[in-house]
Amino acid sequence: MAGKLLVSMSFFIFLTASAYDLKQVLILSRHNIRAPLSSNLHNLSNNTWPKWNTQPGFLTAKGALLEGYIGNYISNWLVKKGLLPNGCPDSNDVYIYANTRQRTRETAKAFVNGAFKNCSVTVYSKNSTKMDPVFNPVFRNMSLELKSQIVEEMKQKLDNLRLKKAYSKLNDLVHLEHSPICKKSNVCNFLHAKDSIVYEIGEEPNINGPLAYTNSIVDAFIMSYYEGMPTSDVAWGKIKSSKDWNLLTRVTQENQNVRFNSTVLAKEVAKPLLKYIYDIFKNENSPKFTLLVGHDANLNSVMAAIGFKPYVLPDQYEVTPLGGKLVFQKWHDSKLNKDLLKVDYIYQTVKQLRDGDVLSESNPPRWMKMEIRNCQNDFDGFCQWSDFIEIMKSISY
């Protein structure tokens, strides 16, 4: 009886899966490994920081290599699911759009090189040294009421920070009491320094104070770790375990949480990108596959505005990992003649990034099923496409 039930269940799952056809995919991606953003790390410690062969904030050669691996993996998945043909896709079926920063442009190019090698697939990126307005997560609305709401959201998150242990460890790691910033600005203990909110029209939500300082430090640590530097060059060999990494990367998580992961704030700073995504899904002539390459700020603000439920990514220290991809999928249920949404987070693990692993079916990236609060998932992770479109419409205009 149990055997018959198992066969029946397997047959039912097969029929259910086979009745769904993948019609469209849009990926919102973070760039891959880059050099640290800050060029002022020497102010935060007298310790010798590791040297990089790339400019601050630029994609590294290893980052490009890893992006090619995940591009190849996703391309194979798209072919397997029947969305794209085996070989070069039609130029109207694929659209690649990257922000103007070198790390996003080069990430997009590396993805294309891995996914569509020797094909005529163009990476679109505006020819400008300024941030593309679509990807730029800045304040635009001059309403004082809106400012008040956003500042209050940010203040509440700052008040709820639980970073004392991380700050204490970082004090010791960088020997802050002997640093230039201690001598010049009297910032000698991250536990005693105070954060202040920066709200300026045309600028990103920002924080001045220990959260920003420690974020720069941890960012440098984790980028050097992913880049594959010797452990003696990563935080001067003083990070000994996953427990240490989990403690310290809470700083970078909270930095993004305060700056981009609040509902009112997110809807404000992500509006151009949300509208862009909504317009792609509403246009019946949109490409079958779209890749948008931006930053962790884009992923965090878009997810907060849409209303994704909290999640944890196994085998990762970050909530928006380098090269990680939020994958929006439009499926069609041929039996009921209706469209469905499924969203997965596809990302490389800490080990895959550190070791530079080639991705394959036997060594795949991780997949995390994502959920949206007002778009109820069924057992297989699908929700109603019409519900999703209504959510996108309400936050895009």
Neighbouring CB atoms inside 10 A of 31's CB total 28
SS3 for 140? coil
Q: Is 344 a catalytic residue?
A: no
SS3 label, residue 257: helix
Catalytic residue among 132, 195, 219, 296: 296
Q: Which residues lie across from 343 on neighbouring strands?
A: 328
What distance in Å separates the CA atoms of residue 307 and residue 14, rounded to the nearest whole number?
A: 31
- Contact assessment for residue 179 and residue 43, using Cβ atoms and an 8 Å cutoff: yes
Distance CA(27)–CA(96), nearest Å, equals: 10
Amino acid at 5: L
Rounded CA separation 255/75 (Å): 33
Give the number of other Cβ atoms within 10 Å of residue 77's Cβ: 18
348 and 107 Cβ atoms separated by less than 8 Å: no
Q: Where are the alpha helices (DSSP H) in 160-270?
A: 164-174, 180-185, 210-227, 242-260, 263-269
User: Distance between CA 19 and CA 31 in Å, rounded?
Assistant: 34
Q: Count of CB atoms within 10 A of residue 198's CB?
A: 15
Residue 37 to residues 22, 41, 217, Cα–Cα distance (Å): 38, 10, 10
Give φ, ψ of 292 to 5 degrees. -115, 120
Q: Do residues 280 and 85 lie in contact, with contact meaning Cβ atoms separated by under 8 Å?
A: no
Q: Is-catalytic flag, 31?
A: yes
Tokens 């700052």 locate to 158
Q: Is 52 exposed, middle or buried (0-12, 13-18, 19+ CB in 10 A)?
A: middle
Phi then psi for residue 35, to 5 deg, are -70, 155
- Count of CA atoms in the C-beta half-sphere (13 A) of 91: 6
Element (H, E) at 97: strand 94-98
Catalytic residue among 31, 219, 295, 339: 31
Catalytic residues: 31, 296
